[in-house]
């Protein structure tokens, strides 16, 4: 009898210790620009849940994606490595020899699984486009549950049921909206696994072009657009004659409608955590994979956007909440990067880094929970545009302290900026600070050799 009581006590203690490990909910939007959220200054879009998330925790003003485009940033999150080290530095096309190889990379979900976490991806993967074999699929990388990931190349969107490119959603309501379905599935995953630690990677396909949303919501924002810019302006720029839904204005009714559904989904997931008593033991993160698309997204005052190494292409909204652990209503100007999520998550789970896996990022837990200053470091980017072939955008960059150097390959041009005093990157300083220019050149070249960064091929038509 005593032995049975001891065994039951031991089981109970083990279960308690397991649950004390925080759940991790990581939500990522696709192509969401720095200037789209209310908590980052947007007054057109409506993002009440994301704004509340910012107030409940920590909002970053200098959070970076490791690339200006989707697949490499996703690779950096899953591996904790710079995309150049992984060999995925542009979006993966429908036919490619590049993919995230499970035999070579120990992904963050695998690491968390080793610590007793149940793991799921709900949504976009885009780290393998061989849908027949699935050799680099999320299932091949060890996710316990793969929900709503693409089964065909989905670059042009697939936002309404019946879905053509997501066979894992074979059923659904007529005209069901994909973002809503993803949010529902994420909440259901939480309900299924609330009794033990979980890692939920909710990766929305939205707001990637093409821009599509429920008609009633689009009409709501078209009316709002007309009220702001003048009667008939919404039809002029977002009517049938402009299928890309682009305008000279920073606001976009289609994107605003898509973002409202993301915001509602964030609220739904958060309410599910609260309803199950999990909110205080869950770290909740919201991020974007790269800057907003040119002419369609809003990157605030930042220069350029998606596919450029100017700030508009790589600086992202980042919100992190953890009630009781992260001080509410705080802001950080620390320069953090998507390579940092992996070491941060394994630290939260109490896992030592795999000695065979190189991690380029750093553990952000002391910054998040104690407000500790980070040690000085440099951040790097490499975009040879091997898929897009955009010669004008082929570049590498380094940020060290307040200075940022960009090397454009087309004419081997170097541009030096002080990001602290010139966030818009308008004042080029290479002639004013020649010693800093040479210092950052050396840093960048040393890093490129370390990660074996491939040289861009300057052969395609300029864009």
Tokens of 393: 């955008």
Of these residues, 126, 141, 193, 208, which one is catalytic? Answer: 126
Three-state DSSP at 121 gives: strand
Joined together, the tokens standing for residue 277 give 């008593």
Q: Which of 260, 403, 338, 296 is nearest to 71 (CA)?
A: 338
Judging by beta carbons within 10 Å of its beta carbon (0-12, 13-18, 19+), is residue 246 exposed, middle or buried?
Answer: middle
Residue 433, sorted as left (phi over 0), alpha (psi -120 to 50) or beta, turns out to be beta
Residue 382 appears among annotated catalytic residues? no
What is the C-alpha to C-alpha distance for residues 121 and 108, in angstroms, rounded to an integer? 12
Strands 282-288 and 315-321: antiparallel
The b-or-e profile of 396-431 (16+ CB within 10 A means b, else e) is: bbbbbeebbbbbbbeeeebbbbbbeebbebeeebbe
CA nearest to 161, candidates 171, 152, 149 = 171
Question: Does 70 qualify as catalytic in the annotation?
Answer: yes
**Distance between the two ends of the chain, CA-based, in angstroms?**
77
Peptide bond into 33 cis (omega under 30): no
Give the max Cα distance, the chain: 82
C-alpha of 412 from chain center: 30
- Selecting among 70, 141, 208, 337, the annotated active-site residue is 70
Residues marked as catalytic: 70, 126
């Amino acid at each position: 009898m005593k032995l049975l009581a001891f065994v039951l006590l031991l089981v109970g203690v083990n279960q308690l210790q397991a649950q004390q490990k925080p759940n991790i909910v990581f939500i990522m939007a696709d192509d969401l620009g720095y200037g789209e959220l209310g908590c980052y200054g947007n007054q057109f879009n409506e993002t009440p849940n994301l704004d509340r998330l910012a107030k409940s925790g920590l909002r970053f003003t200098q959070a970076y994606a490791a690339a200006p485009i989707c697949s490499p940033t996703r690779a950096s999150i899953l591996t904790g490595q710079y995309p150049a080290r992984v060999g995925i530095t542009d979006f993966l096309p429908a036919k490619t020899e590049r993919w995230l190889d499970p035999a070579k990379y120990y992904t963050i979900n695998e690491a968390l699984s080793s610590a007793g976490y149940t793991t799921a991806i709900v949504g976009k993967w885009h780290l393998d486009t061989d849908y027949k074999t699935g050799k680099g699929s999320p299932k091949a990388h060890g996710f316990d549950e793969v929900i709503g990931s693409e089964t065909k190349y989905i670059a042009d969107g697939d936002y309404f049921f019946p879905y053509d490119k997501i066979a894992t959603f074979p059923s659904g309501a007529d005209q069901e909206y994909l973002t809503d379905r993803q949010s529902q599935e994420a909440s259901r995953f939480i309900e299924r696994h609330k009794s033990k630690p979980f890692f939920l990677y909710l990766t929305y396909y939205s707001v990637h072009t093409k821009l599509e949303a429920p008609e009633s919501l689009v009409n709501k924002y078209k009316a709002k657009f007309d009220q702001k810019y003048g009667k008939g302006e919404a039809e002029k720029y977002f009517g049938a004659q402009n299928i890309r839904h682009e305008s000279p204005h920073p606001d976009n009714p289609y994107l605003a409608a898509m973002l409202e559904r993301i915001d509602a989904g964030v609220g739904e997931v958060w309410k599910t955590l609260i309803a199950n008593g999990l909110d205080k033991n869950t770290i909740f993160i919201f991020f974007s994979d790269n800057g907003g698309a040119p002419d369609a997204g809003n990157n605030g005052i930042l220069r350029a956007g998606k596919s450029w190494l100017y700030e508009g292409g790589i600086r992202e909204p980042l919100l992190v909440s953890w009630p009781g652990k992260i001080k509410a209503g705080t802001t950080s100007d620390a320069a953090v990067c998507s390579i940092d999520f992996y070491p941060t998550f394994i630290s939260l789970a109490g896992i030592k880094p795999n000695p065979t896996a190189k991690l380029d990022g750093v553990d952000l837990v002391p910054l998040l929970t104690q407000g500790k200053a980070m040690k000085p470091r440099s951040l790097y980017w490499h975009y040879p545009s091997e898929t897009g072939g955009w010669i004008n955008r082929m570049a590498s960059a380094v940020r060290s302290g307040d200075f940022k150097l960009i090397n454009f390959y087309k004419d081997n041009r170097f541009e030096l900026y002080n990001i602290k005093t010139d966030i818009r990157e308008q004042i080029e300083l290479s002639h004013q600070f020649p010693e800093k220019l040479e210092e950052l050149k050396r840093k960048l070249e040393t890093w490129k050799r370390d990660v074996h960064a491939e040289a861009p091929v300057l052969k395609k038509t300029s864009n």
